[in-house]
Amino acid sequence: MKKTFCLLFTVALLLTMAVPAGAEQPSNTAALIMDFETGQILYAENIDAPLPPASITKLMTMHLVFEAIAEGKIQLDDQVKASANASSLPDGSSTIFLGTGEVLTVDELLEAVAIISANDAGIALAEYIAGSESAFVAMMNEKANELGLTNTTFINAHGLHTEGHVMSARDIAILTRATLEKYPEILDYSSKKFLRMERETRYVRQGYFDMHSTYASLIGWRNIDGLKTGWTPEARRCITVTAAEGSRRYIVVVMGEETIPLRDKRVKELLAQAFDQFQPSVPVKAGEVIDSISIELAKEKEAEIVPVKDVTLVMSRTDKLEDFEERIEILPNLKAPMGKGDVVGTLSYYKNGELVTAVDLVLNENAEKASFLTRILRYLSQIFVDLGNWIVGLFA
């Protein structure tokens, strides 16, 4: 494997992942397989096209709700009063029939969003966090920018079709991965096939409201436990799912399928492909010394560098390690003193010129600053070396 040194240039890793091409598909459909641990994209069809995501939009709503909970801004048992805006959605859209002024908890509203994709519950949460739906949409777009969702624009908090309200399959996968990494408790909500909401204070006639998951047909198949569906006539059937078997978790995104059976069939094909045709390989383990570098002003002339975590490549059964190019990229202007564990660069793997994965490289030992005397002696030594080379050059 080729090893090259160059200055580190920070890029959004997931935006430059190598993407194995899928079969040619209509421009209004998309599909993707992503490895959860590494973010490596294993299969791709039209994944950067900005398409209407429908209610997958509310995955960002849930992300921001869990963020607000984690930051102590709200709590699951907070009482949320529904506004007229939340209770006046178009006929036919998915709702729990919130009445203006009706009060439910954050927890109950999250269940409604996760299980039946309730638009009124999503708006109630948005307004509770940000004060208004428009202010919350601004937060959604800010978070999208922070996560590097370059083909995403939110115009509302629910996903009902509006021109210009778009996400790409890649962006959906990135958001899915980020949410699962930071807030895995979302799976406690998304893995429920059915839930009966029972509250004496609810105005619905039965005194309860039954919620059947929008993808109950998939939950449990090969351990699917999340995550979010979407449908409008323009977006058609969209879904992002995740499942884990053994130590591997994968994310599958499907957009633009005509029917639920076709959506489910595509999800099963891709998830089976992920679990059955790919396997992880670890060419370099965390803490394994891979090279030594010079650090300006350091007491020792060279310092060992190691990856901060295992380098994992998710490879198809036909891939070989030799198909990947290893690159070591070192930060410029490193000066002592530096401590063990300080980041000094990255170890990256490329396939066909495209970035597959990268991990930070850190010092394996402290790099203490050399004494003044040592630095003077090194300086003088270098002068004599340069002089000697000059003299040799005169007679060459």
Catalytic positions, please? Answer: 55, 58, 117
Instruction: Report the alpha-carbon distance of residue 291 to residue 274 in Å, rounded.
Output: 34
Q: Are 43 and 20 in contact (CB under 8 A)?
A: yes
Q: H or E element: which one contains 144?
A: helix 133-147
Q: Are 4 and 347 in contact (CB under 8 A)?
A: no
Judged by DSSP in three states, 383 sits in helix
What is the distance of C-alpha 11 from the center of its chain?
Answer: 15
Q: Which residues of 233-255 are buried (b: 16+ CB within 10 A; e: fewer)?
A: eebbbbbbbbbbeeebbbbbbbb
Looking at residue 388, the DSSP 8-state letter turns out to be H
Looking at residue 153, the DSSP 8-state letter turns out to be B
Cis ω for the linkage preceding 280 (within 30 of 0): no
Which residues are bridge partners to 21 per DSSP? 44
Helix, strand, coil abundance in the chain, percent, nearest 5: 30, 30, 40
Instruction: Report the alpha-carbon distance of residue 343 to residue 330 in Å, rounded.
Output: 9
State the burial class of residue 386 (Cβ atoms within 10 Å of its Cβ: 0-12, 13-18, 19+): exposed
